[in-house]
Amino acid sequence: MTSILFIDDEGKLLRILQSAFEKKGYRVYTATNGNEARKRISEHPIDIIFLDFMLPDTTGLELLQEFLPLYPQKAFILMTAYGNVESAVTAMKAGAFDYIVKPAKLDVIEIAIQKACEWLEMKQENQLLKERLKNAESSQDMIGFSPAMKRILQLVERVANTDATVLLQGESGTGKSLLARKIHNLSGRSREPFVSVNCAAIPEQLLESELFGYEKGAFTGANTSRQGKFEAANGGTIFLDEIGEITPSLQAKLLQVTQEKTFMRLGSNVSKQVDVRIISATNRDLKKMVEQGTFREDLYYRLNIVDIFIPPLRERRDDIPFFVEHFLEKHRQRYGKHFELSPELMKVLMEYDWPGNVRELENALERAVVLCTGEKLSIEDFPREIKEVRHEPDDLRDIPCIPGKSLPDQLDEIEKRLIQQALKEAHGQAASAARKLGISRQSLLYKMNKYFIQ
């Protein structure tokens, strides 16, 4: 329940405000002067403070300057008479969230409260994201915090300290290489090398020598012997990215090293032994490739001792704010600017499907930061395909007309059903459901109380 403190020397006005907003579901406190205000704010967990500009023992501006350093997580709104608007602007510059010109109607005050609630919620979410980012970066873990990714991380923790081969599957840009490194970092091999090879980035004729090395004279230009990636990873982990791109002939040699941990350099007849853990990754359907005969079945099962599928970003949208904050923080440090985006823009980013996943999100934010004229990102700063996301209204054709009910009652029924659907899609999380509906969390809680709590 949001708590509010009204500070004003007019007792009658305070009684009206307290009665009106307690009926709306808020917890309301009042104070008639600065000393009472200090007592209330120290004794109660207050979220929003309304300060009258003129008080018997001080001014609202002086209280604001006193309270702001002590209570940075609260929203302060100055109430001032028409002739003191200049002072209200001064208060805004000093850190007030908003100001209201007296006399003000109750609905104007309620709008200010709702905006303050949204601002406080966003501020709390940003703080939580920053704490998560700090913890994640300290452990080199930038995977995500959605329920799906938590389950994957639990699986990773179980298999990391074994030598089982791991196959990571998922679309491009989902974070397979980061997950591979996390497995290595959590294993007993973490002090040994982690060697990454992108099989799709190396020409077919060079990949064998890159993996297994070669002897002097093995081919034209081989003037010295050279060890391959498997030897370089001895004692540690080798990560074979885009494993689905290797040729059938190379698949046979890879099968040998996965089974026996032995191989021969190109141009050599001497078998070499290595102690290496193999993690592979692909964005292709290896099982289908096996059925089509383009990937060896025996190699598939050797690589697939533990299979981990990383879902695309569109299936774990709760991770999007986490990644947005992470990438923005990198740009803040780089450019020395406090880049921010509005809740409306965050809603657009969460509704876009991100076919390129986390990598596309990172690139889009970098573009937006480069094109941004100030510190507040705009939808115009993002690529065309994101700007073209359409926010269509929900389809109401399946909601029947209810005979005998007035239009307001039927509108209430429609609103109730839309709220139920949003809560279902958000797995009961009010903040996420509120974002889907385009309203504040406080407004959603009020409506839930109205429709579902008798």
The CA distance from 65 to 72, in Å, is 11
Region label for 140, one of left (φ > 0), alpha (ψ between -120 and 50) or beta (otherwise): left
Give the pLDDT of residue 105.
Answer: 86
How many of the other CB atoms lie within 10 Å of CB of 236? Answer: 18
Mean pLDDT, 10 residues at a time, the chain of 454 residues:
89 90 91 91 89 88 87 87 67 82 86 88 71 49 72 90 93 90 90 92 87 86 84 94 92 91 89 94 93 94 93 89 88 90 88 92 93 90 82 47 68 82 76 80 76 62
Q: Do domains 3-129 and 147-311 have the same CATH topology?
A: yes
pLDDT at 369: 93
Q: What is the pTM of this model?
A: 0.58
What's the pLDDT at 342? 86
Domain layout of the chain by residue ranges: 3-129, 147-311, 314-387, 407-452
Q: Does the domain made of 407-452 have the CATH classification 3.10.20?
A: no
Q: Options 3.40.710.10, 3.40.50.2300, 3.40.50.1370, 3.60.21.10; which CATH number does 3-129 get?
A: 3.40.50.2300
Give the C-alpha separation, 435 to 429, whole Å. Answer: 10
Q: 3-state SS of the chain? A: CCEEEEECCCHHHHHHHHHHHHHCCCEEEEECCHHHHHHHHHHCCCCEEEEECECCCCEHHHHHHHHHHHCCCCEEEEEEEHHHHHHHHHHHHHCCCEEEEECCCHHHHHHHHHHHHHHHHHHHHHHHHHHHHHHHHHCCCCCCCCHHHHHHHHHHHHHCCCCCCEEEECCCCCCHHHHHHHHHHHCCCCCCCEEEEECCCCCHHHHHHHHHCECCCCCCCCCCCECCHHHHCCCCEEEEECHHHCCHHHHHHHHHHHHHCEEECECCCCEEECCCEEEEEECCCHHHHHHHCCCCHHHHHHHCCEEEECCCHHHCHHHHHHHHHHHHHHHHHHHCCCCECCHHHHHHHHHCCCCCHHHHHHHHHHHHHHHCCCCECCHHHCCHHHHCCCCCCCCCCCCCCCCCCCHHHHHHHHHHHHHHHHHHHCCCCHHHHHHHHCCCHHHHHHHHHHHHCC
Q: How far apart are CA 49 and CA 116, in angstroms?
A: 10
Contact by Cβ (8 Å): 255, 302: yes
Distance between CA 316 and CA 173 in Å, rounded? 14
CATH number of 147-311: 3.40.50.300
Q: What is the pLDDT of residue 397?
A: 44
pLDDT of residue 392: 44
Report d(CA 44, CA 3) in Å as an integer: 9
CATH topology of domain 314-387: Helicase, Ruva Protein; domain 3 (1.10.8)
Side chain identity at 63, as an amino acid letter? L
- Confidence at residue 19, expressed as pLDDT on a 0 to 100 scale: 92
State the pLDDT at residue 400.
Answer: 55
